Amino acid sequence: MASLVIHDLHVSIGDRPIIKNLSLTVNSGEVHAIMGPNGTGKSTLAKVIAGHPDYTVTGGDVLLDGRSVLEQEADERARAGLFLAFQYPSEIPGVSIANFLRAAVQARLPEGEEIDATAYYKRLYAKMDLLKIERKFTSRAVNEGFSGGEKKRCEILQMAMLEPKMAVMDETDSGLDIDALRIVSDGVNALRGPGLGVLMITHYQRLLNHIVPDFVHVMYDGRIVKSGDKSLALDLESRGYDWVKQELAALPA
Ligand code: ADP
Ligand code: MG
């Protein structure tokens, strides 16, 4: 079984601490949602797990199956089984999705091993059927002129082909319209299972009506201040975040 362990994590941007002592464990087979008001550091967490250079880890660790990923390059993290949804390249004119995905799958094979084209297309088509994606979609150039929904479809298909152990998805800033929301949630629901752990970061409770999480965490001011099951997401929808802040304020310092 795979695990993603975030342990006492502290992250700064420049001199400014953004994440302050955050701990969280995601096991394969589980879907965790992190919610929280704007500016609490949710995207920062996703970017640190992805290895974004702007963020400095000043304490703690992020471990995949017991090994720290913090010193690993992005491709090493991917090879170890980590998938980061927002890492998707913006636009690659002239490169079809089919060829792009093939290169991504090839890059994860051990040195010297070649993809078998027949097996690759068989697997690609099986995943496209699973995700209800039309065949002609993969002949389009990566993200060129794509709608928000098509970008998400491309991202989910990439995730399906890479078969990660852990997927970290930041759906906060992407301005998910109804179409994109449905594609992400149907995709995650089709791919979720015992071999996959998901850390779904979102600002919208709405997404969690479609992807029912096993655990919900509230992030506030750089740390997780409350964890629960899916009912916590409903509480947040009806009551907002203020009650969480009030509860925190009432705690002894
Ligand atoms: P969230 O995703 O929860 O809305 P972010 O992680 O995007 O929050 O941001 C947390 C805080 O860090 C915010 O105050 C934001 O302005 C700041 N921040 C995020 N990224 C950068 C950056 N690259 N440079 C400077 N400040 C940043
Ligand atoms: Mg964000």
Please report, for the domain that includes residue 83, its CATH number.
Answer: 3.40.50.300
Closest CA relative to residue 224, chosen from 14, 71, 32: 32
Nearest CA to ligand 1 atom 17: 39
Does 207 reside within a domain? Answer: yes
2-16, 27-41, 196-210: the lowest-pLDDT one: 196-210
Does 225 reside within a domain? Answer: yes
Q: Band of the pLDDT at 253, cuts 50, 70, 90?
A: low
Does 154 reside within a domain? Answer: no
* Distance between Cα 43 and ligand 1 center (Å): 7
Interval 48-60 mean pLDDT: 92
Q: What is the pLDDT of residues 12-44, one digit of tens each?
A: 999 999 999 999 999 999 999 999 988 999 999
Sheet holding 56-64, edge to edge: 16-27, 3-13, 56-64, 67-68
Does 220 reside within a domain? Answer: yes
pLDDT of residue 250: 83
Does 73 reside within a domain? Answer: yes
Nearest CA to ligand 1 atom 6: 41
pLDDT of residue 89: 62
Interval 171-192 mean pLDDT: 83
Interval 61-69 mean pLDDT: 97
87 or 78: whose pLDDT is higher? 78
Q: Indicate the top mutation candidate among 18, 22, 168, 225 to test ligand 1's pocket, ranked by most ligand atoms within 8 A of CB.
A: 18
The percent of residues above 70 in pLDDT, for the chain, comes to 96
Interval 235-248 mean pLDDT: 84
Interval 185-190 mean pLDDT: 94
pLDDT of residue 149: 86
pLDDT of residue 174: 56
Q: Band of the pLDDT at 249, cuts 50, 70, 90?
A: confident
Nearest CA to ligand 1 atom 27: 13
* Distance between Cα 44 and ligand 2 center (Å): 7
* Distance between Cα 93 and ligand 2 center (Å): 27
Residues, the chain: 253
Q: Which atom of ligand 1 is nearest to the CA of 38?
A: 4
Q: Band of the pLDDT at 163, cuts 50, 70, 90?
A: very high
173 or 188: whose pLDDT is higher? 188
| 42 close to ligand 1 (CB < 6 Angstrom) | yes
pLDDT of residue 65: 96
Q: What is the pLDDT of residues 89-121, one digit of tens each?
A: 678 888 999 999 999 888 888 888 999 999 999
How many structural domains does the chain have? 1
Rg, C-alpha atoms of the chain: 18
pLDDT for residue 237 is more than 90? no
pLDDT of residue 208: 86
| Mean per-residue pLDDT of the chain | 90
Chain position carrying tokens 């991917």? 78
For residue 219, which ligand has an atom nearest its CA?
A: 1
pLDDT of residue 87: 57
Alpha carbon distance 120, 200 (integer Å): 28
Does 52 reside within a domain? Answer: yes
pLDDT of residue 165: 96
Q: Which domain holds residue 175?
A: 3-89+165-250
Does 136 reside within a domain? Answer: no
Interval 225-232 mean pLDDT: 94
Does 40 reside within a domain? Answer: yes
